[in-house]
Structure 1
Amino acid sequence: MNPTQWLQAYATAICTARGDTNVMANYLPVMLTPAAMSWFRSLAPDSIGSWEDLKRVFTDNYMATCRRPCTKHDLNRINQKPSELLRSYIRRFSEMRNSIPNITEAEVITAFIRGLHHRELCSKFNRKPPIGIGEMIITANQYVDAEEAEVRFNEDTGTNRPPHRHDDRNNDRQHNVRRHDDHNDNR
């Protein structure tokens, strides 16, 4: 967690219990993890004169270690892996999306479809683009249900073959380029 946010939550809890800045400064060591407590003990004696000093030193020390929020560029790098089930892709995509502040629905939908390699679902979205994220996820979950039913059927019948619904267009394009080159070499 961002140290500024942590300190705000801590200060709110102390204020709710009717504590003041002296209580905040004196009670802080009780709330620290062992690693943070080691840092706190390493501070020079009498180097902290107020709650404001303590907040500044704490924030300066821990700001570099906090995880930064993801951006829409991170979301655009999420792609469905070859043979990855749709549910797994949706989960990875959603976890990333939920960590990104200030992103529009259109950007989310575009990134989801761009990273999607499920042939049938891509075709569906190309025919009728989703209006919002909710509609996109509902539609995707319908395909998840069908995909998982197929996997269960294959397991039950012992065929043990993965559902073949992934976009092979890149492989087809490479194959067509090779055939075209072979054809030109024979002339």
Structure 2
Amino acid sequence: MAIHSQNEPLMCKVFLSNLGPVAMRWFNSLKTNSIDSYKQLTQAFGSRFITNSRVPRPLSSLLSLSIHEGETLKAYSDRYWEIYNEMDDVSISTFKSGLPIKHGLRKSLTGKPVTSVCQLMDRIDKYKRMEEDQLQGKGNEKVIS
């Protein structure tokens, strides 16, 4: 990549291709023509994500989060992870507390608790796929955890 470091348009495209959902939302919220160079882009990114110039959200912002009526699991989990990524110390159980008591994923997390964020994300992905299948009318099968 060092060979292309003088090619700013290419560097910007490569930079963008490596952004996750939270960083991409930040990028999409930038005002049009507010960034004039790759260096300015990386500085803006650094000031937002690397230097922790923003005050971390309190745990209460995650604890008060819940799925909205009619909201998909995907939308809820996207909101959850965005807040989660802005926090210093959180418990995995906060995700579960935002789900209705009768939600299949909540029951699964209660019956077979996860011990890491990776396990939680895997379990959420299973239930998102099931939800998407149900929304597309492909079936009502239950996810085995």
TM-score of the superposed pair, with normalisation by structure 1 = 0.43
The partner residue of 2:64 within 68, 72, 77 is 77
Structure 1 or 2: more helix by fraction:
1
What is the match of residue 73 of structure 2?
86
Provide the residue aligned with 2:137 in structure 1: 153
Once the two structures are TM-superposed, the CA of residue 137 in structure 1 deviates from its matched residue by 1.0
Which segments of 5 or more consecutive residues in structure 2 lack a partner in the other structure?
Answer: 1-52, 141-145
1:89-128 aligned at under 5 Å gives the runs 89-101=76-88, 103-104=89-90, 107=91, 109-117=92-100, 119-128=103-112
RMSD: 2.0
Structure 2 distance, partners of 1:67, 1:131, is 29
Corresponding residue for residue 129 of structure 1 = 113
TM-score, structure 2 as length reference: 0.54
2:69 and 2:106 map into 1 onto residues whose CA distance is 15
Deviation at 1:67, TM superposition (A): 4.7
Match of 1:142 among 118, 123, 126: 126
Letter in 2 for 1:100: M
Q: Using the alignment, how far apart are the partners of 1:127 and 1:139 within structure 2?
A: 12
The AA in structure 1 aligned to 2:123 is T
Measure the CA separation in 1 of the matches of 2:54 and 2:64: 18
Name the structure, 1 or 2, with higher relative contact order (CA <8 Å, separation 6+).
Answer: 1
Q: Which amino acid aligns with 1:113?
A: K
**Cα separation, 2, equivalents of 1:138 and 1:91:** 14
User: Which structure's CA Rg is the greater one?
Assistant: 1
- Report SS of the residue matched to 2:128: helix
AA aligned opposite 2:127: Y
After TM superposition, what 4+ stretches of structure 1 lie above 3 angstroms from structure 2? Answer: none
How many residues are aligned here? 86
Deviation at residue 68 of structure 1 after TM alignment: 2.6
Quote the offset at 1:86 in angstroms: 0.4
Deviation per CA, 1:104-156: give whole Å up to 9, x if none.
4xx1x1110111126111111111111111101100110000101111127xx
For structure 1, the 5+ residue unaligned runs are 1-65, 155-162, 164-187
> What is the distance in 2 between the residues matched to 1:140 and 1:77?
19
